[in-house]
Structure 1
Amino acid sequence: MIVRRSPDDLAAYRSRVLGSLLGGALGDALGAPIEFDSIDGIRRQYGLAGVTGPVPDSLGKVGLVTDDTQMTLFTVEGLIRGGDVPAVRNAYLRWLDTQRLPGPSHSSGWLGEQGWLYARRAPGNACMSGLTYGFAGPAPFGERGPVNPESKGCGTVMRSAPFGYGARDAREAFELAARCAQITHGHPTGYLAAGAFAAMVHLVLAGEPLGSAVQGAADLLAGHPAHEETSLALRAAVRLAEQGDPSPERVESLGGAWVAEEALAIAVYCALVHPGPGDLRRALLLAVNHSGDSDSTGAVCGNLLGALHGHRSLPTDWLADLEGRETITDLADDFVTWTAGETAADGSWEKRYPRD
C-alpha cells in the first residue's frame, strides 16, 4: 500500500518502524539468556535486581536474538512480497528453512540470503509444526483454525508487530494479523491476541498515546467472538499498571507468558508502568526479569515502545552488540521505501523482494 507522506512525516514514520523492529530485537536478546529461569534463579545469578543489561548466554554470546525476532523479520518480508496471508505464509516457510538448513541454499530473496538468520534458537513447537501442514485459509474469527486448533502459544503475538506498520487503520492491522496467526495457531485466543497487538502497534505508530492505543485495541478485540480470554488479560494488565509499584512478582501475577494473552498482558503492563521515551531500559528489564517467557515479553514490549517513541529512544550501548542490527535497519528502510512507493525501477527491487 502506497502512502504519501511529507518529508518530516516520512522521517518520523521511519524512526518508529525502525524503533519497533530494533526495540523488539533488544527485548528479545535481553530476555533470551534467562528465558527458562525462575525469578529466584535469576536473582541468585545476577543479584536482587536480576539482569540489569545484556548478559551472555550459555555459550558466552551477548546480544543474540531468537525465533521471535527472526519471525518478525520474515513477517516484514511477507508484507513487502505480497501483503496477504499466502505471501506471509511463504515468508514463514523461508524462516522454516533457516531452522532446518545450515545456510542459504538457493536464491529466495534478500532476507533469505542473510547467513546469520540460519540459527535455531528454541523455536516454538506450534510455529514449527504448523508450517508443515497444508493451509487452505483461516477460519472465521471466533472459530478454531485448521492448523493446531488447540494452540494459543505466544508465537502468534511475538511476530505480529509489523502488521501494524503499513495498515490503513487499526482494524485492518488487527484482521490481517489474526488471519496470519492462524497459519500456525488455530485457537481464537492465540490469533485474536495477535490482532490486538498489531492494532496497538498501528495506533501508537500513528501518534496515539499508549493508553489510548491499548483501549482502542481492546475495543476492536471486544467486537469479535471468543475475545474473552484476551480481553480479561488486557484488563488485568491495565488495572495492575494503575496500582504502580512495579515488580517481578506483579508481572508474574499476569501469568507466565507461554500463551498469547499472557505475553501480551505482561508486555502491555511493563510498557504502561514505564511509558516515557527515557524509560525503555526500565520497561524492558521489567519485561524480562520474571519466571516465564522472558524473550517474548521483552520482544513484544520493545516492539510496542519502539513504535511509540522511535529508534532514538533505544539504549545505544545495548544496540552495540545486537545481532543482525544492520539487516534489521536495512529491512526497516526497505519497508518504508515500499510503503512510500519509491522502489527502484531497474529490476533490483524485484530481485531483492520477488513476488510470491
Structure 2
Amino acid sequence: MTWRQKNPTLETAAVYRARVRGCLLGGAVGDALGYPIEFLSLDRIRTVHGERGVTGFVPGAYGAMGLISDDTQMTLFTVEALIEAHARERIRGIGGAWAQMLREAYERWLETQSKPGPEQDAPRGGLISEPWLYARRAPGNACLSGVAQKYHPDPMLKLDGKPGQVNPDSKGCGTVMRSAPFGLINTPGGAFEMAARGAQITHGHPTGYYAAGALAAIVAYVVEGDSLEGAVVRTLRLLARHPGHEETTAALEGALDLAAQGRPTAGNVENLGAGWVAEQALAIGVYCALAEPDVEAALLLSVNHSGDSDSTGSICGNLVGAVHGDVGLPHEWVEQVEGRARIAAIADDLAAERLHQ
C-alpha cells in the first residue's frame, strides 16, 4: 500500500490537513444531526420538528445535544488503527499488519460498548482511555457480532466478489459509515482495497464491502484534488474491475442521475432507499453532497428522511468535509459536536503521520 504523501509543499500540506479535519469533523456533525431522529419517519420528523424537519442539533439521549453515535465511534477507532499501522511501517519498516491492528482497534471499540468506562487501575492510553466513548448508541448487530469473532482478512487475498467468512449475508451500512479514513491516508486504489477488506471483519456480503471501498476511494480522489462528481465517476470505473460490483455501481449511478435532475428534495433521497444497507447509505450521502452545494443544507438534506439518518448524515459529512475542509463546515455545529477537540486532534495525528518524511 502507498501510504505517504511525497514531498508536499507547505500549501499542499495545509490543504491536506484541512481536508482530513473536515472529513472527520464533518462526519461527526452529520452523525450528531441524524442520531436523534434515526428511527423516525419523515412525517414524524416534520411533525415533531416542523415542516423543514431538523434544522440543527436537537436533544438526543438524556436531553444532550450534539451526541455522536457508533458511526463516529468506529470511524475514530479506524483512524487509530491506521495511525498505528503507518507508524509501525515507517519506524520499524514492517508492513502488512494493518488488518490485525484494525481488528484489534475494533475489539477496543467493542469493549466500550459493554463497560461503563475505562479501567482505572490499568491505564492503556489512546481512545480506549476516553470516558466519553463509553456509550452504546444503537450499534449494528453485525458490527457487534462480527468484531466478537476476532477475524482479520488476509491483505494478500484478491477481492473476488464472493461472500466473506463473517456474517456472509450482511451488507448493513456499518461497513461504509466507518470507512472514510482509509481514503485520507492512501491512494484511491489502495484505499478501496483496505476499506473493502476491513469491512469483511464484520460484514461478508460483497455489496457491503464494496460500498465501503467505494466511499474510501471517493474520499481519496477528493483528497488528490478531484471534484466530488469526478471522484464518483472515477470510483465507478474502479468498481467495474471487481466481480460482484453491480449493486454498489447501480446505487452510485442512481445518486449521480438524481443529483443532475435539479432541485434536491427529501423525496429524491427516499427514492434511493432508507440507508439501512450499505449501498443505499452510500448513495444517499453522495447524492446529498452532490445535489446541494451549500454545506449546511447538504447535511440537513442527508438526515431529514425516513431511515438511517445518522449513517447517511455521517457519510455526507465525510464527503463535504473532505471537499471543503474544516473551515467550510458550519462553525456552530462543529463547536457543539461531542468530542470535537479529540476528533480534531486525532485528525491532525493522522495527517501528520502521512506527511511524515
TM-score by length of 2: 0.92
Question: Could you tell me how far apart the structure 2 residues matched to 1:219 and 1:121 are?
Answer: 36
Percent of aligned pairs sharing the same letter: 57
1:113-132 correspondence runs (5 A): 113-132=129-148
Listed as ranges, the gaps of 5+ residues in structure 2 are: 87-97
Question: Could you tell me how far apart the structure 2 residues matched to 1:328 and 1:58 are?
Answer: 21
Match of 1:255 in 2: 273
Aligned-pair distance for 1:59?
2.1
Is 2:148 the partner of 1:145? Answer: no
State the secondary structure of the residue aligned to 1:231. helix
Match of 1:228 in 2: 246
Aligned with residue 98 of structure 1, among 109, 112, 124: 112
Is 2:94 the partner of 1:80? Answer: no
Match of 2:67 in 1: 64
Match of 1:161 in 2: 180
Question: Could you tell me how far apart the structure 1 residues matched to 2:333 and 2:289 are?
Answer: 18
Question: Could you tell me how far apart the structure 1 residues matched to 2:305 and 2:150 are?
Answer: 36
Match of 1:353 in 2: none
Is 2:117 the partner of 1:89? Answer: no
1:174-185 correspondence runs (5 A): 174-185=192-203
State the number of aligned residues.
Answer: 338
Aligned-pair distance for 1:134?
3.7
**1:47-81 Cα deviation digits (max 9, x unpaired):** 11111111111421100000000000000001011
1:267-306 correspondence runs (5 A): 267-275=285-293, 279-306=294-321
Match of 1:347 in 2: none
Is 2:206 the partner of 1:188? Answer: yes
Question: Could you tell me how far apart the structure 1 residues matched to 2:21 and 2:321 are?
Answer: 8
Question: Could you tell me how far apart the structure 1 residues matched to 2:270 and 2:131 are?
Answer: 36
Question: Could you tell me how far apart the structure 2 residues matched to 1:192 and 1:57 are?
Answer: 32
Match of 1:40 in 2: 43
Question: Could you tell me how far apart the structure 2 residues matched to 1:271 and 1:325 are?
Answer: 22
State the secondary structure of the residue aligned to 1:108. coil
Aligned with residue 215 of structure 1, among 230, 233, 236: 233
Match of 1:7 in 2: 10
Aligned-pair distance for 1:95?
0.7
Aligned-pair distance for 1:314?
0.7
State the secondary structure of the residue aligned to 2:346. helix
Match of 1:350 in 2: none
Q: Larger deviation: 62-71 or 107-116?
A: 107-116
Aligned with residue 135 of structure 1, among 146, 151, 155: 151
State the secondary structure of the residue aligned to 1:54. coil
Task: Judge conservation of contact 2:99–2:152 (CA < 8 Å) in 1.
Answer: no
Is 2:74 the partner of 1:55? Answer: no
Aligned-pair distance for 1:110?
1.8
Match of 1:310 in 2: 325
Question: Could you tell me how far apart the structure 2 residues matched to 1:237 and 1:271 are?
Answer: 10
**1:198-235 Cα deviation digits (max 9, x unpaired):** 00000111110111000011111111011001111111
- The letter for the 1-side match of 2:190 is E
Question: Could you tell me how far apart the structure 1 residues matched to 2:168 and 2:110 are?
Answer: 20
Aligned-pair distance for 1:103?
1.1
Question: Could you tell me how far apart the structure 2 residues matched to 1:150 and 1:274 are?
Answer: 34
RMSD: 1.2
Is 2:204 the partner of 1:201? Answer: no
Aligned-pair distance for 1:157?
0.4
State the secondary structure of the residue aligned to 1:131. helix
**1:81-137 Cα deviation digits (max 9, x unpaired):** 115211111111111111111111233332211111111100111000001114252
Listed as ranges, the gaps of 5+ residues in structure 1 are: 343-356
Question: Could you tell me how far apart the structure 2 residues matched to 1:272 and 1:339 are?
Answer: 28
- The letter for the 1-side match of 2:183 is G
Question: Could you tell me how far apart the structure 2 residues matched to 1:269 and 1:341 are?
Answer: 34
Question: Could you tell me how far apart the structure 1 residues matched to 2:150 and 2:104 are?
Answer: 12
- The letter for the 2-side match of 1:298 is G
State the secondary structure of the residue aligned to 1:223. coil
Runs of 4+ in 1 over 3 A off after TM superposition: 106-109
TM-score by length of 1: 0.93
State the secondary structure of the residue aligned to 2:247. helix
Question: Could you tell me how far apart the structure 1 residues matched to 2:348 and 2:150 are?
Answer: 33
